[in-house]
Chains A and B, each alone.
Chain A
């Protein structure tokens, strides 16, 4: 167990105990805070709002797809799916776990009082808000219809929508992501408590460290790409438009150089959450700690050399495609290692089925399917048959929603008592987890079939023989929507009426469970001294093989 030096007094659950939430009051104490925990809460509120805005768009366009000829005008549909993609990717998925859970937990997990640069952390939230407002402005003024990928020359020359505002919003939000990543990297390197060696870091920290590297290295390229796009749109200079000398393929290379690694920004932190949850509810150390930690780093590195698999059918040379296909298979290996290790962690464990564990089960299952269907797209032959269809839509929703959102909601349940000092209602939470799992599969599984049948993505109308599967998918989406609203309600309810949580309600290990719930502003009264490995649930008894 990660032990800490004795804390002054016992952390009683007394009503008046000072913690980071009640130490100061008033809006100023929130808007000018440099406490990483308060900033995490600010982020949590903002990304939740964005999640529901993006989700609403999804509900609307799933309604449109109930009828083969569509219900809304094509303009409306195109703006809905574009807004959904832009908001969900850049304003929910990318900041989801890093800016909320990791922001809250990383300093505590490494035994620090705060992130290395608390003011930069606050700045990153303000930048995020500005970016989000710009994008929402674009959506409200009339929307943007380029899809989240902003492919040139459509976005730079042909689209008559608010591309500039949206692109600028994404550009801005990118800096928020860079600053978060930078803060994590420095914190993990320089702020670890005495005795907190690299091999004792919780896997959640490892995965967010890897994420930070991607954020720092990838995001600036997206920023510059969007600036070039904006420049072309304003000044009509042929950077991407071939009619005036540019090259649209360059846009795709630059865009995916960021956006493929960004996929791992969106999933790595989720993998970290699952490592924590599986270990805690199996009451057992993570099987193969070194391999799980190493696989996070391997994913981060490999993620930068696979972007070309988005262009197999865009006319890149055959040898380029071969190389990218091969590398794309390579990145699947460390992902597989993680899945096997989580499963092996349960072996001879003492497993309890609390809500976070249910989400972890959901994650492992859905991520497995999402990951394996990725192989269809990495293989050059089947990519040709599935590219640009609903198969891809289903694949990345299995990874992003089935994976990342599951991990996010699971992690939120896991650390909710730590963040708020209150327990959520267990029965409702289990019910919601089940609803989300069922609704998710009903929504997205039919899309695999639709995709191989050939239904293209981003179609507001489709041939009638695809209707049955689309209706199934829309039905699933409505169930999924309900599934997401339930936790929203009981989380808010629990803030006032939830059972008070102790310091360590799940008997988990890790520094965050050695301090009161909710923590005080500086987390630790005295700097902890770590003497044990992570996940020290008992003496090592057996070594397999």
Chain B
């Protein structure tokens, strides 16, 4: 750190204001590092979900009939509603980042809480769907039944992938809600302002990523055999 170049008091103030950690030279470096770190992490996530999408693609090619027949048990209306909810939450998240950039503390808190509400609505709807699957014996490994019975094993694969992929997605949503809670508390304390909003931006990136995963999951899982 070039401690001797800038008057000590001002530099210290700036470091405090921008929450500069000791091992970074400048706030810009810190933000750059965080951004690159988040993008790298998201690439990891893409590959994490990629493995599941690969499995999906292969089994769908192997068993197209069985996969299409499961559409009957997928609630397109609930799935569609959830898609809309998530898109709204992405909008409010983007607005929250903007509010942070403009140092609008109240707006920031408002949009963060709206995003959390949308996220929670999503999870509640997801819960309703899961419950329906449970009632209809469509949970693989737990008294799974399927008609026509000759699709039993292959439909079970689709339902496994369904729970697997949406479950992973839901876990990411829950983590996202946790992160948003943290942001709200920090925002309440007035930590974010035009010169320090990296955490809002990073968590925003994460939130958008989780939304995008859903945008792929919805047609692949809900609309396979859907006619009309």
Contact = CB atoms under 8 A, between A and B. Distances in A.
Contacts of A182: 37, 40-41, 44
B47 A217 contact: yes
Contacts of B36: 185-186, 189-190
A245 B58 CA distance: 12
Interface stretch (A155-163, A219-227, A429-437): A219-227
Contacts of B22: 113-114, 522
B51 A221 contact: yes
Given A113-B23, A245-B156, A527 B2 contact: yes
Query: From DSSP, what is the main secondary structure of chain B's interface residues?
Result: helix
Contact of A117 (B37, B49, B156, B157): B37
A107 B21 CA distance: 15
Contacts of A238: 153, 156-157
Nearest to A216: B44
A231 B141 CA distance: 9
Nearest to A232: B160
Interface string A331-372: 000000000000000000000000000000000000000000
A322 B37 CA distance: 38
Interface stretch (B25-33, B76-84, B95-103): B25-33
Nearest to B154: A245
A228 interface: yes
Contacts of A117: 33, 37
Interface string A25-69: 000000000000000000000000000000000000000000000
A237 B160 contact: yes
A104 to B, nearest CB: 15
Nearest to B36: A186
A302 interface: no
B188 interface: no
Contacts of A253: 54
Contacts of B13: none
A225 to B, nearest CB: 6
A231 B37 contact: no
B29 A225 contact: no
A223 B48 contact: yes
A228 to B, nearest CB: 7
B135 interface: no
Contact of A220 (B37, B45, B154, B164): B45
Contacts of B52: 224, 228
A224 B62 CA distance: 21
A112 B21 CA distance: 13
B63 interface: yes
A186 B33 contact: yes
Contact of A239 (B25, B33, B157): B157
A246 B157 contact: yes
Interface in B42-95: 43-45, 47-52, 54-55, 58-59, 62-63
Contacts of B8: none
A498 B21 CA distance: 36
Given A113-B23, A182-B40, A250-B55, A244 B153 contact: yes
With a 10 A CB-CB cut-off, give which of A116, A191, A218, A253 has the most chain B CB atoms.
A116
A247 interface: yes
Interface residues of B, number: 38
B119 interface: no
Contacts of B43: 216-217
A178 B44 contact: yes
- How extensive is the interface on chain A, given as a class? 35 or more
Contact of A527 (B25, B44, B55): B25
A408 B154 CA distance: 48
Given A112-B23, A224-B48, A239-B55, A245 B41 contact: no
Given A234-B141, A239-B55, A527-B25, A221 B48 contact: yes
Contacts of A234: 141
Nearest to A107: B23
B204 interface: no
B68 to A, nearest CB: 16
B1 interface: yes
A118 interface: yes
A235 B140 CA distance: 6
Interface string A104-139: 000100001111111010000000000000000000
A499 interface: no
Interface in A228-266: 228, 231, 234-239, 244-247, 250, 253-254
A250 B29 CA distance: 43
Nearest to B160: A237
Nearest to A212: B40
B160 A254 contact: no
Given A216-B44, A245-B63, A224 B33 contact: no
Nearest to B140: A237
A107 B160 CA distance: 44
Contact of A522 (B23, B33, B47): B23
Interface string A289-314: 00000000000000000000000000
Interface in A382-434: none
- With most chain B CB atoms within 10 A of its CB, the pick from A117, A190, A191, A218 is A190
21 contacts: A114-B23, A115-B23, A185-B40, A186-B40, A187-B33, A190-B36, A191-B23, A216-B40, A217-B44, A220-B47, A223-B51, A224-B49, A227-B164, A228-B51, A235-B140, A238-B156, A245-B153, A246-B157, A247-B62, A254-B55, A527-B25
Given A228-B164, A522-B22, 18 more contacts: A189-B33, A189-B36, A190-B33, A191-B24, A191-B33, A216-B44, A220-B50, A221-B47, A225-B51, A227-B164, A235-B160, A237-B140, A238-B153, A238-B156, A245-B153, A250-B54, A253-B54, A527-B2
Among all A-B residue pairs, the 7 with the closest Cβ atoms: A235-B141, A224-B51, A220-B48, A245-B153, A113-B23, A114-B23, A190-B33
Interface of B: 1-2, 21-25, 29, 32-33, 36-37, 40-41, 43-45, 47-52, 54-55, 58-59, 62-63, 140-142, 153-154, 156-157, 160, 164
